[in-house]
Amino acid sequence: EAGVAQSPRYKIIEKRQSVAFWCNPISGHATLYWYQQILGQGPKLLIQFQNNGVVDDSQLPKDRFSAERLKGVDSTLKIQPAKLEDSAVYLCASSLGREYNEQFFGPGTRLTVL
Amino acid sequence: AQSVTQLDSQVPVFEEAPVELRCNYSSSVSVYLFWYVQYPNQGLQLLLKYLSGSTLVKGINGFEAEFNKSQTSFHLRKPSVHISDTAEYFCAVSEKGAQKLVFGQGTRLTINP
């Protein structure tokens, strides 16, 4: 079974530029999550999708971050414009969507904002 | 709202020694508890989870954890560690009825030969 795929693995941009990350979840997984992991901290949930609808985006900085999950499969997370404090690893995870299902994580995208 | 505190940011141990990584949580409702491991430049992998039943939970790679409701703790243990256990370990909590995970800040386990 293929795991959660993410691209790119690394990205370096200047502040005020825009960037997009892509995630392909495990086939059949209804729920998709985007997390932000700042160096030295645990992952923090940014947004959760159930199929192609948003379940929780309470911690997503909506003035600069946006995410979509078209057709309930792949997802894209965008930052526009980026700030220095957005430097982090962005993790995508997916699960079957039931209450205590294990979340499977992708390898992450390491973003450096200069 | 729930929260997780991992009491040690770094834990150095010698190879083949036992180890305990401490985790305390706070929640006003019943919870599920998890331990994840993150190897360098990789995503998180589930080690074990407590959903209900026996308070002693066994996971992969010889790890186990004990749920203590009165002390709101979920400490992770391994009787004998190997060099390959060097990684970052995260404790996480999910309120029953929700799918959202809240993570602690992580504990870096370093194994010395």
Residues 6 or more apart in contact with residue B24 via CB below 8 angstroms = B4, B5, B7, B71, B72, B73, B74
The 10s digit of each residue's pLDDT in A63-80 is 999 999 988 899 999 999
Q: Residue B97's closest chain A neighbor by CA?
A: A99
Query: Strands (DSSP E) along chain A, which ranges?
Result: 5-7, 10-13, 19-24, 31-37, 44-50, 53-56, 65-68, 75-79, 88-95, 104-105, 109-113
The 10s digit of each residue's pLDDT in B21-69 is 999 999 888 889 999 999 988 889 999 999 988 999 999 999 999 999 9
The pLDDT assigned to A99 comes to 67
Element containing residue B66 per DSSP (H, E): strand B64-68
Query: Are B106 and A48 in contact (CB < 8 Å)?
Result: no
Q: What values do phi and psi take at B68, rounded to 5?
A: -125, 100
- Comparing CB atoms, the residue among A41, A95, A106 nearest residue B99 is A95
- Quick one: CA dihedral B93, B108, A41, A96, positive or negative? negative
Q: What values do phi and psi take at B42, rounded to 5?
A: -130, 165
The shortest C-alpha distance from B81 to chain A (Å) reads: 23
Please name the residue that has the structure tokens 């691209």.
A7
- The share of chain A scoring above pLDDT 90, in percent, equals 85
Which pLDDT band holds residue A56 (cuts at 50, 70, 90)? Answer: very high
Please give the average per-residue pLDDT across A15-40, as a whole number: 95
Average the pLDDT over each of A63-67, A94-98, B68-72 and give the range with the smallest value: A94-98
